[in-house]
Structure 1
Amino acid sequence: MTKPIQPTQTTAFYVQAILSFAVSLSSVVIALLYLPTAGWIRAFLGLGLLYVVTSTVTLCKVVRDRQEQSVVTNRVDQARLDKLLAQHDPFKVDA
């Protein structure tokens, strides 16, 4: 039986993802600070940005949890199948 290939993340990919998030978030925050509108409009847009960021983090967690759950379910199903195949004797004659 072959093991499924587990995707690995390199340190460079991890750092690039963090830097990309930091640059995008800081650029939008700076744009909101220098936006030539009233303060309440900037606050509203800032609150919307905060909502987008928190909902994105929640979505990432949900997707990751669902993927981990499916991996565990697949492992349990594979273990059950392996047990059934190990117990099965095709040459056994029922009396």
Structure 2
Amino acid sequence: MTNPIQQQTTAAYFAQAAISFGIALGSMGLGVAYLPVGAWVRAFLGVGLMYLVTSAFTLAKCVRDRQEVGQVVSRVDQARLDKLLAEHDPFRVDGV
């Protein structure tokens, strides 16, 4: 059975994504904190920001899980195909 090539991200790509996330979250947090509105509006926007962040993480996890399930199904199908090809003898004559 052949092993599929797994793509892995580089450390630089991971660092760029983490830094970008930190800058975006920090700037939004500062923007909400220094917004010239009342405390209730600021609290509402802060809770909305945190809800957005947690739902983004949940969505990313769901997409990753669905992709992993697809890879498992693909591996099972590949194993079945490999078994059929291994058992197939093109030079066998039926009925002899």
TM over 0.5: yes
- Once superposed, which parts of structure 1, at least 4 consecutive aligned residues long, lie more than 6 Å away? none
1:19 maps to 19
Q: Distance in 1 between matches of 2:33 and 2:47?
A: 13
1:93 to partner: Cα distance: 3.0
Per the normalisation by structure 1, the TM-score is: 0.90
For the residue of structure 2 that corresponds to 1:93, the secondary structure is coil
Runs of 5+ consecutive residues of structure 1 not aligned to the other structure: none
Residue 85 of structure 1 corresponds to 85
**Map 1:28-39 → 2, pairs under 5 A:** 28-39=28-39
Aligned length: 95
Is 2:65 the counterpart of 1:60? no
Q: Secondary structure at the match of 2:43?
A: helix
TM-score, L = length of structure 2: 0.89
Which structure carries more relative contact order (alpha carbon 8 Å, separation 6+)?
A: 2
Counting aligned pairs with the same residue, the percent is: 59
Look up the match of 1:73: 73
Q: Residues of 2 paired with 1:86 and 1:4: CA distance?
A: 19
Structure 1 vs Structure 2 CA RMSD:
1.6
User: Distance between the aligned counterparts of 1:11 and 1:85, measured in 2?
Assistant: 40
- Post-superposition Cα deviations, 1:34-62, rounded to whole Å, max 9, x if no partner, equal 00001000111111101110010000001
> Partner amino acid for 2:29?
V
Moved more, 63-72 or 2-11: 2-11
